[in-house]
Structure formats: structure tokens, C-alpha cells
Structure 1
Amino acid sequence: MSFMRRVLRPVSALAICAALTPIGAWAYEEAPALAEQVAAGTLPPVDQRLPAQPEVVTPLESVGTYGGKLRRMLGGSNDHNSILRVVSPQGLTRWKPDFSGVVPNVAESWESSADGSEFTFHLREGMKWSDGEPFTADDIMFFVDDLLNNKEFYPNAPARFVVGGETMQAEKIDDHTIKLKFAAPYGTFLTELATPLAQEPVLWAKHYCMQYHPKYNPDIQALVDATEAVEDWTGLYRLNCGEVEAPNRWSNPERPTLDPWVVTGDGYSAGSTKVVMERNPYFWQVDTAGNQLPYIDTLEMGVAQDNQAMVLEAVAGNIDIQRRKISNLANKPVFAENAEKGGYKILNMINSNSNVMAIHFNQTHKDPVMREVIRNKDVRIALSLGIDRDEIIDIVYQGQGEPWQIGPRPDHVLYNEQLGRQYTEYDPDRANELLDAAGLAERDADGYRLLPDGRRFTFNVNYTGIEQPDWGDSLEIIKEQWKEIGVELNSSSVERSIYYSRGEANEHDFMVWGAPGGLDPTLSPRDVLSVHPQASWFSIPWVRWYISGGTEGEEPSEAMKKRLELYEAYKAEADQEKALDIFRQIHQIAADELEVIGISLAPNLVGVVNKKLRNVPDAIPASWMYPDPGPTLPQTYYYAE
């Protein structure tokens, strides 16, 4: 499959246009419910709601029919990304369905400068927000001038919009043409725009959100004072207009969007038991027969409090397509057993991850004694050698997988054998020798090693057990294995918000999470680079140093500073082969440092899909950077009779 071998970089630095099938004199068609509103005079005719040149999408299997409801499940009150995955981030660019490159999306086409520092986007004339107001270059200018470059709104601008230490700038050419400019070449910008975290340029409608901005509303303080739970205009803005990755993005039904479906009712909030979204009557895509998309009328997402409840809903046939939170391979037998009765098929999800569980030893530990011990590479080697990965794979993962650390999968062009396979053998004798030599030879009455200050060498670890019970099982096995080398491990399951708050506060010995970067190493480098404030758990203060340009956080190690320099060079390099060579250097330094270790190469995942649902691929990449199933265009899914 091409997405297992491709390199995630721009398709071309030249002008790239969407493949448009001229509709010409065809009559556009629309959903019956919208036609009724047109007849009643409450909605403009379909040709007045579409752009002058809507994007024409070729369905995977066949032109569909209108109607129906797509059912999914959300996990509690903080599962906003499950909504994003099916609605799909409607950015300027998007991924091809096979994850092989990017194509125009909200933008009709683009050109880039010869050095890759400027990108001119051509927007679709006549395109509208979900409330019928025009979408133009002014909306992007609003983001760049009034939000991105506003220190109150962004004290530190998102790194994806900062190059050479300077924030992205914009120049309006005309209402439908805009130039985005950087201080230096940015070879990965077009692929960055296709990821789920780079939709901001087209996320906010100026005509609506300007009411929450002091530049446009002189009475903004009165609104702040009248609103509970906000302290300033930035909080008020985010409450009403949402953020790119937060529950509040889906909490306000009045906020205009460019999405195929728009939230209704009370939206998604802490007390939600169900989230309902209805088709956007102004959505800007049509199929090859001129039918306005989406085909499906309604998205209905129930809210469950644990993953097992979702599994039961899937088995009962109450989920139409989903792998999120039910993709554990342990569920595959029960899915297979109940597929006929539940009216679904098993959905094959190609795992883009590198490892099922990565262990991020905290290089920036607040305790100076623990920090010194953790920063000793021989200690980290010993801890890795003290894990019997084969035992964990057999017991927890039903024998599916192989001992693995982190990094690109073996069939990827950036595969680094050392990064993936070093120190994965089980060798407790060698581990004990290394720990003795590291000055940790003294033990207490229970056989546990003592730190230099006399305390027991103990790791206290939190994990998100509701979402990933396999991590708890793996940690329990590691606890017994590390006991043999004199290291104590205590683990406890916590709710996701607690997990994140402790990690962001740098109050952890080590953190565990799934390791990305198996198929998307250049897009998800958070385990080898200190770049992600909610995922590079081995070095959160280093991340803050990088994001702030050295004004906050803690100066990284020399090895990390070198990698961050290389990363900046990689992002600027327009030549694909040279860029790959730069990333190979990053991986080699990470392999030599061994800051993060893993358990098993991530096996493919499972999901369920209604047997009657059409235009769904047989296999879908499972990745956050390819927020599945969004790039397969759920707006083209439909139900067969």
C-alpha cells in the first residue's frame, strides 16, 4: 500500500490544482430536506449556495444517495478529536485518501516561491460559511493579523507558523487570493496544513468572531464581565469561537464553519450525553453527478464513560464506523463473533504507530537526584534490558508484535535499525551489572536499590487506564520484571485530564503513551525531538525552551539542541532527498541518546463498519496526523438500500 512506503512531503513546489470535472450547464442536486427549505423560501437555491467552481469529488465506489444517520461514540467529555476525525479538518490542503501526499482542499490551488518561503493560495470564488456568509481572504487575514500576531492571544505563536524565529505574515492579493509568507524557506508547510492541528488559517469566520475581539468591539470588557469562567477577551473568544483542538470547538452551534456537518442543540460539553450534527447546506463539494455533499443527513455521537461500553455498542450494531477507543486487538474475536448479528464488518486499520507503549524517562525531573540517575544512559540501557518484551507481547498483545523501541517501521524509507531494535533483548544479568556500575549497588531489606541519597529507587507512574487498559497490564508485568533488577515500579490509572495536567507540570518520573512515527516519522517526531508540549513527555521544559525561542523552560542537552537545529533545517529544505538525509541525522542522534524506550512494534488495529455503508476503503491508515477516517471523505459515505 502506497501509504506504507511514501514520504510525507509536498507533492510539488509548483502550482497544484484540484482535479475538477466541469459541471457546466448541469443542474446541481441537493438533499431532499434542503430542497424543501428552498421551496419554502427559507434557504437559497443550491447553485447560489455553492462556489462558482465547487470541488468535484469522485466517490470511491459509486455516486451515492441522500439520507441516513451515521452513528459513533465519544469517550466522556474530552473526546473532541473523535468528532474532528469524522468531520475531518477542513484546512487549506488535505491528505490524499492513501496518505501519499496532499491535494487542494479549501484552497482551489496554490503556487510557492522558488525558495519555498512564500505560498500563494487561490480560494474558491463564491464559497460560503455554514451560515451563508462569504468566505474570503479577509478571514485568513483576520487569523494572521488579529490572532496569530497578537501577543495577548498567542504569547507564543504555534510552532507550525513560526520559521526562523519569526511568525507567519499574510498579504491579501484580492478577495480570493492570499499570500502566506515566512522569514525563511518552509519546505513542509503544505503537508503541515493537512494535519489536524494546522486548520487555524480557515477555522474562524471573521464576521462572527470579530465580536469577541477588542479591535472590533469596543465594549468587549462588558461581555467578559458578563460571562462566567472567563477572565479576559482571549478566554471569551475561545469559549465562543473554539480552538483547533479542544472540546469548545464543538460547543457553540452558532459558530460558522466550513465543515460538511455542523453541530446542533447544545453542542459538546461536560454534561453531554449525545452530540448531533446536521449537514451544512453551504458545503462546497459536489460529486461527479453534481450532487452536493454530504450524502448522509446526520452524525449522531453518543457519549460513553468507558471503552467497554463502546465495545458493547459496537457488538450490538449501534456504531456505523469507528476504531477510536475500540481498536485494541483483544476486541477482534468478540467483533468477529458478533459481526453477522450486529450487521457490521471488521474494519482493517493500518497502524501508523511505531510502538504500542513508549516509556518517556523524564530527562528534566524536578528532583535533582532522580534527574541525575535518569540522565545516566547506562541506567536507561539497564531498564530496557530488564524488560522481557516477549512475555508482555504474549500475555498482553496475544502474541502480535515484536520487541521494539521507537522509530520508523522496518519498511519505511527512514528505518533506523538501531533506533528500533537496540537493547530489546531480555538480559537481567547485564542490567544488574550496569546498575551496580552506575553507583546503585546498595539495596534495602526488600532487595530494592537505593539512590545516592538513600531513598529507594522507585518510579511512580500514571497512565490512562480507561482508554488503554493494556498499558496497565504491561506496567504490572514490568513491575515484576524490574523487581528482579532491584527497581521498584508503582503505577496507577488516572483520568486523562489528570494525566495531562501532571505531565505538563513536569511532575512525573516517566510517562507512557503510544509512540507515533511508524509511517509518519517526519510529521510525528515528538519521541525524538522536544517539540510537543503535550506529548514529548521526556523533556517538557525543553519543549517550552524550543517553543519560546529560549525565553522560557530549560535549555536542552547538547544532543537535543543539535537535533532541534537539524529540525529547523529539515523544515526549510525544499529538496526531498536532502530533507530525508537531515531527518536521518535526527534519528541517529536519538538512537544514540536512548531517551525513550518501547515494548512492541505496533500491530494493525481493528474497527467496525456497517455492512450497508458504501465508499469506505477496505483498509484505512490509523494515524492522528492522518486523522482517520477523515481523509477518506466521510461526506461521500452513503447507505446502500
Structure 2
Amino acid sequence: MVTRRTFLGLLASTVLPQPLMAADVDNEPDYLADWLRAGQMPHLAKRLPKFPRIVSVAAMGGTPGRYGGSVRTIIGSQNDIRFMTIYGYARLVGYDRTLSLQPDILESFSAVNDTVFTFKLRDGHKWSDGHPLTSNDFRYWWEDVILNKQLTPGGGALELRPHGNLPRFEVLDELTVRYSWDDPNPDFLPSLAAPQPLVILGPGHYLKQFHKKYQDSIRLSSLIQENRVKKWQDLHIKMGRAYRPENPNLPVLDPWRNTTPPPAEQFVFERNPYFHRVDENGRQLPYIDRFILNISSSAIIAAKTGAGESDLQATGIDFNDYTFLKDAEKRYPIKVNLWKMARGSRVALFPNLNSADPVWRDVLRDVRVRRALSLAIDRHEINMAVFYGLGTESADTILPDSPLYKPEYASAWISHDPDQANALLDAAGLDKRDEDGTRFLPDGRRMEITVETPGESTLDSDVLELVTDHWRKVGIALYTRVSQRDIFRSRAMGGRILMSLWYGLDNGVPTADMNPGELAPTMDDQMQWPLWGMYYLSRQTQGAAPDVAEAAKLVKLLGEWETAASSFERAEIWHQMLAIYSDQVFSIGLINATLQPIVHSARMQNVPEKALYGFDPTCYLGVYMPDTFWMKEDRPNA
């Protein structure tokens, strides 16, 4: 049986045009002129694969562009240079704007029953340093990274061993590799298309110098000392980390490559001369020569953006900055678009079912309490006061943009009904109150909930101020605690947080073939059940097993999804999980389908006016291909 994925992969490989045999001089970026004159790199026809990926810009609603320009953007910390690998969105397979998978770095792929995956590379594709990309780069990563117990002591990423064992890996020829499992692994392709993709290849020709198997021990010791790490494994990881591209010498396949070693206050990414995509006119993408990332305090990114200091800004700004940014259009040559956020909820409350406080833990595990907390909230007031009525009152669930959407998931326990909330709290044994009307916990303490937040947006504090009033009316006192994101996450994972305020589901627009793991305890940073998530993540060696029946059922269903043989079966499992998750109110969603400002220079072309915005699966700007954005006039490259 050949699955739909096989058909899509093969179809994509059949519509490629004839090889690009000669390069028009006009199709060479001026930015590369000095290298070309000096003979330091070949001309376009020899830099591109024999069959490059042809991107029809016009078919995407844009216009084919011109080369040139530097784009400034602002980031909140050095770690945020990872946005360039998300925005660039070069993947073996990736999503298009309809969230269908298609070959990207790969020329084609096939998947048989989601057990046997065959990948074919593009003949002549090269890393950013000009070295050929071949099946040897897959072989290196498999044999010398994944199977090396010192580099990969855990046995490999969970996406590679969903049933406990790694796949069989085969090199079929110089351009073709195959991964085979005995049981279906439907998450394999989506994990390769993810914002932080599963890594199954690396530039072996470069990384071997940091590997004990290939490098002289004296030279390796020198490199370890030079890079201030303790052992060769740390050296290899540091020098080979592609997702956060801190090593300017690491060959990449992205549209832009980092040229700045950290630490720095400004990072410059320049065009990859060997990037594998071209437009319909044969012009190599990206159009834009350079991205300049300036580090600034997160608190003033919106102000700097509104002052015209960014040519493209999506992160560090929020909906509550919209009126300020829109007003800035009158003073600076910028344009503000509004994209729909693709998360399950713009803000959601996460009662910690693994709280270290045993009394609160028992209270929060009572579904009547979670339902009551949700029913007590007046979402309409929050929508009108904070989002100007432009959001949608909803549980923390998927959006109508997903083919899996059902209205009953969104409406579960969200009607503003203080009477029903009071009745549920009374039925849960929380019927005793003090003279101020605040309820008592079973041990006699006042029912005071501290909601913790990283405090990165005034929008969050505005929402919590309203929820405080709503919960007071049903006898619950709410207090807010703000801490830095790293501390906040650490406290949540340690069970020291009673309840958190954070974003809802990352992926609010899933298809049946996308992993539903967010709906089950699978990660240690899930704030409603971090210990249960750690138990799953560690293969039952750390944390604790879920001891709430519905949470355990979600884990069981996830296991069934991972072995399902068809999209139909996977859709049925998704629906079961969505129904349980929303009915059990494991997270308390408030408002979704809110709008995210996207600010760009008025000179920048091909930025969609409306689109979906989220981390997963759209990779923020990634699926809208910033390599096709272009500037009407050059900004000096100085």
C-alpha cells in the first residue's frame, strides 16, 4: 500500500523543470560580485542543484523580486538568533501555506505505510561552503552521532524510536537513503518539518574535526581548550548546533548564514550562495542579501519598532502594541499587518496537577474545580477590554482553520455561569467561607491561588486583573507573581507553581497527520503536569506516572496514534483526545484567534497582509518564505 504521502512526494518530484544549464549574468546577486571576480566561488549554474526547487512567487500571490538590501530586526537575547533558522525554514520536507508536506531540501520522498521512508537528495546540492550534500552526511549523523553512545547517551530522539527501537538505516546510493521501522511512525515526516526539526544529517566533512573517531587526540585537546568546553562531546555539540547557529563556520542549508561569533550585540546573517531555491525566472533565492539582528531589551522592542528601527518585526511585539505601531505608520515608512495567531489560546491558565502542595494538588485534580474556575471567567469582558472584541472566546483547543475542528471543543465549559461555578465548588467540598466570602481549602487555609507568569507582556497582567475580579465573585482569591522566564519554567517543572499563565496549545491548526502529543503528558515543560510529562519523556525512569484516569487515557491514545496505519484512524484518535482534553479542562483557555502585529518596511514586498501566525506548524514567518521577500530600493550594505 502506498500512502497519500508517497503520492505527494512523488508528485512534487515530477513537476520539476529541466535542469538549469546556464546562468544569466543578470541572475547573479551583486552581493557576490567580488567573490565571483576573485574566482572564490563558481557561477550560479554550478552553485545550484541540477534540479533546484522552483518557487512560483506569483502563484503565492506575490511578485518576482530583485536582489539586494539589508533587513534590520530586533531580538531580545543572543539565543534568539534561532529565529533565523525558523524564518528561513529550509527543511528536508516542509509545510506549504496549506500545511501540506512537500519536498524542500529533498528532491523527492516516498513513504510506504508510514514504515519505510525513502529520501532522494537533489543532484548537485551543496552546503553553504560549497561542499556537496550527499547521503554521506546522513551516514555520518547516523553512525557517528546517533549511534555514538558518548554523543547520544539517551539512544536517540524519541521521534526516531517511538516504539522503543531505532529504525534500520540504509544508504541506497550517493543521493538516496532509507529509514525503516517495523511499525508505523507517522510522526517522522512532521518532525522533520517542525520549527525545531529532528536532526538526521550534518556536514560530516566539517564536523569530523571535532569527533574523537576522526581527529588526532592532541589537536582535539587543543580545540577543546580553545572553545572552553570540558570534553570532546561538548565540543562536537557546540560546533554542530544548527538550530541556534552560533558557529559562523558551520556549513548550513538555510537561506542566510550567520557571520558573527557570540558574544555580540549585533549578528549579521548573509545570503547562502548555494541555497537550493530559485524563483520562476531562475533567480536564486533569497532576494535579500543580509539580515542584521540587533539585541535589545525585550521591554523596548515595540518602542524601537515604532521608531522605525526594524525593517521586519514579528517577535517582541504584541496585540496591545497595535495602536501605537499603527500610529507610527504616519511618521515612519513602515506597514503594520495583522495575522491570526494559530495557538489554542492567546492566554491560558494551567492548574498544576503535580503541585508540591498535597492539598492544592487534590483540589486541582478534581475536574469540578477546574470546570468551575473556567465557568467563573467572563471571557466576553476579557475579549472586549483587552482584545477590542477581535478575538474568539474559546477553550484552549484547535481553531476552525483546522480540518479537525468541532464547535463543541471550543465551547466546552466556557459560558460565563457563576451560579454553576459556585454549585460545582460547593459539590467539591469547598463550601465553607470566611466573612469576606473567600472559600476555605479542606485543611482550613483560605482558597488563595497564586498565578505565576513571566510578565513579558502587559496584556497578561490586564487579563489577570479581570480574572481576579471574576474569581472573587465565586469565593476564590487570586494573586499574581512575576518571575523571569527561566526561573518561571524551572519553578513550574519543580511543582512549585500552583497555577501558571502562558500561551495555550502551540499548534491550533493541526491535521490528523500531525502529532497530538500536546494534548497528553509528554514533556516536562507542560505546566499542568510536568512530572507526568517527565515520566513519558524519560521512558518511565523519572517523574511520576499519571494517576488521573483521563490523563493516562490521553497517553494511551497517543500510543495508538503512533501505530495507526491511516490518516482516518489518526483523525479518530485526535477527536477522542480533543474531546477528553476540553471536557476535563486540563488547561483553561480564554481567547484565541487573536491578532498578531507583523511590522515591515514599506519598501518590503511579498509579505502577506493576512496569514496564520504561530510557532508550530507555521514557524512564525517560515511557511510564508521570507526568502521571497524583497526590497523596492537598496539600503546600503554598510
Q: CA RMSD in A?
A: 2.5
Say whether 1:377 aligns with 2:367: yes
Which moves more between the two structures, 32-41 or 212-221? 212-221
**1:543 matched to 2:533:** yes
Deviations 1:22-80 (A, max 9, x none): 24443253212323212112223333322232222222333322110112111233424
Structure 2 counterpart of 1:15, which letter? L
Q: How far apart, CA to CA, are the structure 2 residues paired with 1:519 and 1:130?
A: 33
Q: Which amino acid aligns with 1:510?
A: M
Secondary structure of the equivalent of 1:333?
A: helix
Question: For 1:89-488, what aligned pairs fall within 5 Å after superposition?
Answer: 90-96=90-96, 98-113=97-112, 115-154=113-152, 155=154, 157-202=156-201, 204-217=202-215, 219=217, 222=221, 226=225, 230-242=229-241, 244=243, 249-267=244-262, 269=263, 272-307=264-299, 309-326=300-317, 328-410=318-400, 412-444=402-434, 447-466=437-456, 468-488=457-477
* AA at the equivalent of 2:31: A
Residues in 1 aligned to 2:518 and 2:477: alpha-carbon distance in whole angstroms: 24
Q: TM-score, normalised by structure 2?
A: 0.90
Distance in 2 of aligned mates of 1:629 and 1:239: 26
Find the aligned partners of 1:469 and 1:227 in 2 and give their Cα distance.
43
Q: How many angstroms does 1:586 deviate by?
A: 1.2
Aligned to 2:17: 21
Shift of 1:254: 1.1
Q: Distance in 1 between matches of 2:598 and 2:282?
A: 32
Pick closer, same or farther for the CA change 1:496–1:408 going to 2, 3 Å. Answer: same
- Cα distance in 2 for partners of 1:553, 1:224 equals 37
SS of match in other structure, 1:119: strand
**Gap runs ≥5 in structure 2:** 634-638
Give me the whole-angstrom Cα distance separating, in 2, the residues matched to 1:13 and 1:505.
Answer: 44
Are residue 35 (structure 1) and residue 33 (structure 2) matched? yes
Q: Partner amino acid for 2:221?
A: A
Of residues 625, 633, 638, the one that matches 2:625 is 633
Aligned pair count reads 618
Query: How far apart are the structure 1 equivalents of 2:515 and 2:387?
Result: 24
TM-superposed CA distance for 1:109, in Å, is: 0.5
Q: CA deviation at 1:276?
A: 0.8
Q: Distance in 2 between matches of 1:14 and 1:315?
A: 43
Q: CA deviation at 1:190?
A: 2.3
AA aligned to 2:117 is F
TM superposition shift of 1:299? 0.4
**Structure 1 contact 384–424 (Cα < 8 Å) conserved:** yes
User: Deviations for 1:285-327, whole angstroms, at most 9, x for unmatched residues?
Assistant: 22233222222111011112124x222232233322222222x
Does structure 1 retain, via aligned residues, the 8 Å contact 2:341–2:592?
A: no
- Tell whether 2:55 aligns with 1:64: no
Q: How does 1:602-641 map to 2 (within 5 A)?
A: 602-625=593-616, 626-641=618-633
Match of 1:635, as an amino acid? D
Say whether the 8 Å CA contact 1:617–1:632 is kept in structure 2: yes
> In structure 1, what is the Cα distance between the partners aligned to 2:174 and 2:18?
23
Counterpart in 2 of 1:4?
none
> What amino acid does structure 1 have at the position aligned with 2:629?
Y
Q: Is the 8 A contact 1:279 1:298 kept in 2?
A: yes
Distance 1:464 1:521 in 2: 31
Partner of 1:506 in structure 2?
495
Query: What SS does structure 2 have at the residue aligned with 1:564?
Result: helix
| CA shift for structure 1 position 403 | 2.7
Name the CA distance, whole Å, in 1 between partners of 2:518 and 2:462: 22
CA distance in 1, matches of 2:421, 2:140: 57
Q: Deviation of residue 637 (structure 1)?
A: 1.8
Q: State the SS of the aligned residue for 1:166.
A: coil
Could you tell me how far 1:212 is from its partner in structure 2?
2.8
- Structure 1, unpaired ranges of 5+: 1-8
CA contact (8 A) 1:10 1:101 kept: no
SS of the aligned residue for 2:393 comes to: coil
Tell whether the 8 Å contact from 1:304 to 1:310 is kept in structure 2 after alignment: yes
Asked if structure 2 preserves the Cα contact closer than 8 Å seen for 1:145 and 1:169, the reply is no
Query: How far off is 1:188 after superposition?
Result: 4.0
Given that residues 9 and 108 in structure 2 are in contact (C-alpha distance below 8 angstroms), is that contact kept between their aligned partners in structure 1? no
* CA deviation profile, 1:422-448 (whole Å, cap 9, x unmatched): 222223333233223322234456543
Q: Using structure 1 for the length normalisation, give the TM-score.
A: 0.90
Query: By how many angstroms is 1:482 displaced?
Result: 2.0
Distance (whole Å) between structure 1 residues aligned to residue 17 and residue 81 of structure 2 = 34
Give the Cα separation in 1 of the matches to 2:32 and 2:9. Answer: 39
Taking a change above 3 Å as real, the CA distance of residues 16 and 368 of structure 1, as seen in their structure-2 partners, is: farther
CA contact (8 A) 2:147 2:155 kept: no
Deviation at 1:562, TM superposition (A): 2.4
Structure 1 residue identity aligned to 2:125: M
* Distance in 2 separating the partners of 1:224 and 1:395: 57
Give 1:525 deviation, angstroms: 4.0
Q: Residue 360 of structure 1: CA displacement? A: 1.5
Identity percentage over the alignment? Answer: 29
Does the 8 A contact of 2:93 with 2:101 survive in 1?
Answer: yes
Contact 2:6 2:110 (C-alpha < 8 Å) held by counterparts? no
Q: CA deviation at 1:13?
A: 6.4
Contact map agreement 2:118 2:176 (CA 8 A) in 1: yes
1:404 and 1:589 map into 2 onto residues whose CA distance is 16
3-state secondary structure, aligned to 2:321: helix
Displacement of 1:123 in angstroms is 0.6
Equivalent position of 2:577 in the other structure: 586
C-alpha separation between the residues in 1 aligned to 2:200 and 2:298? 35
Classify the secondary structure of the residue corresponding to 2:573: helix
- What is the distance in 2 between the residues matched to 1:14 and 1:65? 30
Please report how far the alpha carbon of residue 228 of structure 1 lies from its aligned counterpart in structure 2 after TM superposition: 7.2
Tell me whether 385-394 or 172-181 shows the greater mean CA deviation.
385-394
- Change in 2 beyond 3 A, CA 1:398/1:508: same
Paired with 1:553 and 1:81, the residues of 2 have a C-alpha distance of 29
| 1:494 equivalent in alignment to 2:483 | yes
Q: State the 1:278 CA deviation.
A: 0.8
The question of whether the paired residues in 1 share the 8 Å contact of 2:8 and 2:102 is answered with: no
One-letter amino acid of the structure 2 residue matched with residue 396 of structure 1 = V
CA separation of 1:199 and 1:295: change in aligned 2, threshold 3 A = farther
Q: SS state of the match for residue 599, structure 1?
A: strand
Offset at residue 120 of structure 1 (A): 0.6
One-letter amino acid matched to 1:634: P
2:288 alignment partner AA: I
Out of 624-633 and 153-162, give the one that drifted further. 153-162
| 1:86 corresponds to | 87
Q: Give the residue type in structure 1 aligned to 2:135.
A: A
Between the aligned partners of 1:16 and 1:93, the Cα distance in structure 2 is 14
Indicate if the aligned counterparts of 1:111 and 1:121 stay in contact, CA closer than 8 A: yes
The match for 1:5 is none
Distance of 1:160 and 1:514 partners within structure 2: 24
Deviates more, 1:414-423 or 1:256-265: 414-423
Measured in 2, the distance between the counterparts of 1:533 and 1:521 equals 24
Deviations 1:331-360 (A, max 9, x none): 222233222432222223132122111111
Change (3 A) 1:420 1:62: closer
| Compared CA separation, residues 252 and 493, structure 1 to 2 (3 A) | same
Which residue of structure 1 lines up, in the alignment, with residue 636 of structure 2? none
